[in-house]
């Protein structure tokens, strides 16, 4: 078969296609072509849904990537046409946030930190072990479309390095021996987090960044630990919210049900100052909520309901 006849309508060139099953001539298509082919109607609906909202473009791109696993060029052109913004601007946003991809990614995204702190603790060896076990180079996707491997310069948890993030789940103090375990856990499913015996989970004690008052509520335990009490508001609703103090756990209790994708405002229950930082979520662009960690450092959580992004920086304080 000539090279020109191996063009894949989904990803451009069949030999590099991560879904190269059931390709059929004369114009070869991925088995998942119908699922991955972008829809003008879907793009139009997403744009109209978020038109005029703060961060509306990012929400639109999130919706597209959630549907197709990446941002097809045709879909970006449709967004530009519908919004009246230049394609250059659209691409600028799509390439600025590392959560977006212009090429199909695998089912699981593995990020290995190779920043200075992680590097000196053995991150290159961890990266090499992932390369060996997945049989791909960094920046590539396995042939079965299961894993995409990438390296990043910092993940905000320098004191706990080497750090590996798999589908948004942090693994700390990783060495070569744990790589196989991480891959196995990923294949089994990472959404379940155990409050005991899970190295991704550990307690933190946090304070208000404004008044320095403790936010810990010892009278209301979550997963056997004092909870973190804050006040939140969204729309016309106002009430209390209790967060698990176990970093890595997503368990919460709230006075009112918070709709999925709703961005809430967080406040200190003592000084009533808004807990707002200068950082936006790297995954969904919602404001991050900064909480001071006892002993130094900061933990930040995303203010969007359903987003599991969190960042931890202990400023050299080892736990």
Domains and CATH numbers, the chain: 3-96 (no CATH), 108-188 (3.40.30.10), 203-313 (no CATH)
Helix/strand/coil for 265 = strand
Q: What phi and psi values does residue 207 have, to the nearest 5 degrees? A: -130, 160
Question: How far is the C-alpha of 276 from the C-alpha of 303, rounded, in Å?
Answer: 9
Strands 147-152 and 225-234: unpaired
Contact 69, 80 (CB under 8 A): no
Whether the model pTM is above 0.85: no
Question: How far is the C-alpha of 11 from the C-alpha of 19, rounded, in Å?
Answer: 9
Helix axes 56-68, 87-96, angle to 10 degrees: 70
Dihedral sign computed on CA atoms, order 10, 16, 17, 20: positive
Task: Report the pLDDT value the prediction gives residue 177, as an integer from 0 to 100.
Answer: 93
Task: Report the pLDDT value the prediction gives residue 202, as an integer from 0 to 100.
Answer: 64
pLDDT in tens, the chain (319 residues): 333 444 454 444 444 454 444 444 444 445 444 444 567 778 888 888 888 776 788 888 878 887 777 888 888 988 998 889 999 999 998 888 766 788 777 888 898 989 898 999 999 999 999 999 999 999 888 888 889 998 888 766 677 789 888 876 778 889 999 999 999 988 877 655 554 555 555 677 888 877 889 999 999 998 888 999 999 999 889 999 999 888 777 788 999 988 888 999 999 999 998 988 766 787 788 888 888 877 556 788 889 988 877 665 543 333 3
Task: Report the pLDDT value the prediction gives residue 222, as an integer from 0 to 100.
Answer: 87
What contacts 171, CB < 8 A, 6 or more positions away? 163, 164, 165, 178, 182, 199, 200
């Amino acid at each position: 078969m000539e090279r020109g006849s191996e063009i894949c309508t989904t990803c451009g060139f069949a030999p590099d296609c991560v879904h190269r099953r059931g390709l059929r001539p004369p114009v070869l298509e991925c088995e998942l072509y119908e699922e991955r082919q972008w829809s003008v109607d879907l793009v139009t609906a997403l744009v109209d849904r978020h038109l005029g909202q703060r961060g509306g473009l990012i929400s639109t791109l999130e919706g597209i990537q959630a549907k197709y696993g990446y941002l097809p060029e045709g879909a970006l052109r449709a967004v530009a046409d519908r919004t009246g913004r230049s394609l250059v601007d659209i691409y600028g946003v799509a390439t600025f946030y590392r959560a977006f991809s212009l090429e199909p990614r695998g089912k699981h995204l593995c990020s290995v930190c190779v920043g200075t702190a992680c590097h000196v603790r053995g991150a290159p060896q961890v990266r090499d072990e992932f390369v060996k076990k997945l049989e791909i180079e960094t920046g590539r996707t396995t042939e079965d479309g299961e894993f995409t491997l990438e390296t990043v310069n910092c993940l905000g948890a320098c004191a706990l390095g080497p750090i590996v993030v798999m589908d948004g789940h942090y693994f700390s103090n990783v060495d070569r021996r744990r790589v196989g375990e991480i891959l196995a856990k990923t294949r089994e499913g990472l959404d379940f987090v155990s409050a005991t015996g899970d190295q991704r989970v550990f307690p933190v004690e946090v304070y208000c960044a404004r008044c320095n008052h403790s936010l810990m509520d010892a009278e209301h335990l979550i997963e056997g630990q004092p909870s973190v009490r804050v006040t939140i508001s969204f729309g016309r609703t106002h009430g209390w919210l209790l967060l698990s103090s176990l970093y890595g756990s997503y368990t919460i209790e709230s006075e009112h049900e918070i709709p999925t994708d709703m961005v809430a405002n967080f406040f200190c229950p003592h000084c009533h100052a808004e807990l707002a930082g200068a950082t936006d979520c790297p995954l969904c662009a919602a404001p991050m909520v900064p909480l001071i960690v006892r002993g130094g450092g900061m933990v930040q959580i995303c203010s969007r309901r359903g987003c599991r992004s969190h960042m931890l920086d202990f400023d050299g304080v080892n736990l």
